[in-house]
């Protein structure tokens, strides 16, 4: 039997790579530099699945992922979700002096803001392309006054001065695929809708009305302005509980579509990006 092929973002050791290993044990992993390349690999059939980061509890949604879902997915859809803890640690050379500089990826620096301002309020924060690069530079250039933020594994070669410096940090990943998922009885569906009349008060309220009617819970909602200046309006993204093949979910989304686009003129009035088993990731830390 052919081994499952999975595309993912970044190099071995990066968080998305680890998530892909957890989601598809034993699969052959191929790494790509950008989210859109991962999506295209699935679309083109080069791989069976693609794993991409969707949101971090500190940094919010990954805009590149969102944009790729909107603009690139045609035959592929979200088939799984997984949230994994992100455990950042702080390290420096064994014979380090006073820390005057902290290096890491932009997002990691942001996530560890509380720790840094408490422990190294005077240190300059230097953003580099990825956490691995920060460690490499400190070792190679023997920067005795620099510290790096990375995973424990990523800090190899440095002395670990503090562990888990950004508590309760989680990143949620999606897996894309072409095989439709089956109803499990506890699923979620990610959709977007685009009201072509936006300035009217109550449009969003009306859009949510079919969901309310059929008692469908929303796990998440957010809006994004349209980048096209010709139609500076908003897209709404909603994650609902239930599978798109569930009778009530199906009906509610049909109603929404009919409300927003009664003439059937706008294919993107309502879009469905996939249904996947609910991992209850936002309750992970509770248990």
Distance CA 178, CA 214 (A): 28
283 binds its own copies (CB under 8 A): yes
185 binds its own copies (CB under 8 A): no
208 binds its own copies (CB under 8 A): yes
- Of 115, 152, 113, 112, the C-alpha closest to 132 is 152
Figure out which of the listed residues 218, 254, 258, 268 binds its own copies, where binding follows CB under 8 A.
Answer: 218
Any idea which residue has 């957010």 for tokens? 222
DSSP string, 208-248: HHHHHHTTPPEEEEEEEE-S-GGG--EEEEEEEES-TTSHH
202 binds its own copies (CB under 8 A): yes
Query: What x/- string results for residues 65 through 104 when contact with its own copies is judged by CB under 8 A?
Result: ----------------------------------------
Query: What x/- string results for residues 165 through 184 when contact with its own copies is judged by CB under 8 A?
Result: ---x----------------
Figure out which of the listed residues 72, 119, 234, 272 binds its own copies, where binding follows CB under 8 A.
Answer: 234
Figure out which of the listed residues 13, 46, 61, 145 binds its own copies, where binding follows CB under 8 A.
Answer: 61
> With 0-12 CB in 10 A as exposed, 13-18 as middle and 19+ as buried, what is 244?
buried
DSSP string, 112-145: THHHHHHH-TTSEEEEES-HHHHHHHHHHTT-TT
* Three-class secondary structure of residue 135 per DSSP: helix
Select from 92-100, 141-149, 177-185, 234-242 the region that touches its own copies (CB under 8 A).
234-242
Please give the size of the binding site for its own copies, defined by CB under 8 A.
53
Site for its own copies in 242-281 (CB under 8 A): none
Distance CA 155, CA 88 (A): 10
Q: What's the gap between Cα 104 and its chain centre?
A: 19
On whether the CB atoms of residues 239 and 218 are closer than 8 A, the answer is yes
Distance CA 122, CA 103 (A): 14
60 binds its own copies (CB under 8 A): yes
197 binds its own copies (CB under 8 A): no
Considering beta carbons, is residue 35 or 42 the nearer one to its own copies?
Answer: 35
Residue numbers of the site for its own copies (CB under 8 A)?
34, 36, 57-61, 63-64, 105-107, 110, 113, 117, 125-129, 168, 199-202, 204-205, 208-209, 211-212, 215-218, 220-225, 227-230, 232, 234, 236, 241, 282-283, 285-286
């Amino acid at each position: 039997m052919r081994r499952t092929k999975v595309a993912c973002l970044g190099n071995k050791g990066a968080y998305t790579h680890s998530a892909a290993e957890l989601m598809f044990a034993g699969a052959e992993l191929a790494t790509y530099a950008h989210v859109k390349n991962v999506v295209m690999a699935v679309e083109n059939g080069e791989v069976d699945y693609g794993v991409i980061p969707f949101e971090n509890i500190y940094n919010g949604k990954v805009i590149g992922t969102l944009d790729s879902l909107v603009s690139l997915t045609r035959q592929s859809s979200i088939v799984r979700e997984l949230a994994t803890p992100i455990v950042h640690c702080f390290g420096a050379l064994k014979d380090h002096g006073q820390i005057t500089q902290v290096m890491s990826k932009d997002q990691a620096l942001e996530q560890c803001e509380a720790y840094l301002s408490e422990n190294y309020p005077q240190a300059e924060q230097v953003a580099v392309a990825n956490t691995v690069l920060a460690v490499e530079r400190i070792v190679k250039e023997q920067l005795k006054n620099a510290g790096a933020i990375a995973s424990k594994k990523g800090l190899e070669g440095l002395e670990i001065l503090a562990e888990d410096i950004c508590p309760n940090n989680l990143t949620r990943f999606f897996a894309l695929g072409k095989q439709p998922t089956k109803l499990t009885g506890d699923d979620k569906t990610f959709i977007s809708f685009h009201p072509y009349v936006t300035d009217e008060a109550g449009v969003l309220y009306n859009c949510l009305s079919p969901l309310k009617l059929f008692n469908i819970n929303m796990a998440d909602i957010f809006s994004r302005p349209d980048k096209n200046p010709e139609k500076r309006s908003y897209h709404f993204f909603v994650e609902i509980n239930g599978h798109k093949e569930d009778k009530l979910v199906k009906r509610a989304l049909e109603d929404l579509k009919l409300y927003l686009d009664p003439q059937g003129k706008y294919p993107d009035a309502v879009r469905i990006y996939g249904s996947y088993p609910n991992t209850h990731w936002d309750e992970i830390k509770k248990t």
